[in-house]
Amino acid sequence: MGFAAAVHTTLTLSVRIDSFQNRAEDLEGALQSRTAINLACGVIMGQNRCSQAEAMEILTKVSGNRNRKLRTELFEQPSGGSMETHFDA
């Protein structure tokens, strides 16, 4: 019984650690996507002299017209490679 309890505890901790790692990766991806979206909004705001809400509407509309997610649209280069955005502190 003692061994089964130890295995149960170990497996429970392992599952929790894995879920926390997945969550951290998801949050990191979301932050990276948000940076690209904000940069794209800034470019559109500068070019069109519009508000952030209007720029976001433009991005959403373009993404919808192409039937692709906004994040995918911003992270793909014409050559098919991926583009990363980041800032150094």
Q: Are 44 and 63 within 8 A, CB to CB? A: no
* Token representation of residue 48: 């069109």
pTM: 0.51
- pLDDT tens, residue by residue, 69-79: 776 666 655 55
| Angstrom distance (rounded) from CA 34 to CA 88 | 16
End-to-end CA distance of the chain: 52
Q: How many CB atoms lie within 10 A of CB 44?
A: 19
Q: Are 62 and 73 within 8 A, CB to CB? A: yes
- pLDDT tens, residue by residue, 12-47: 999 999 999 989 988 887 777 788 888 889 999 999
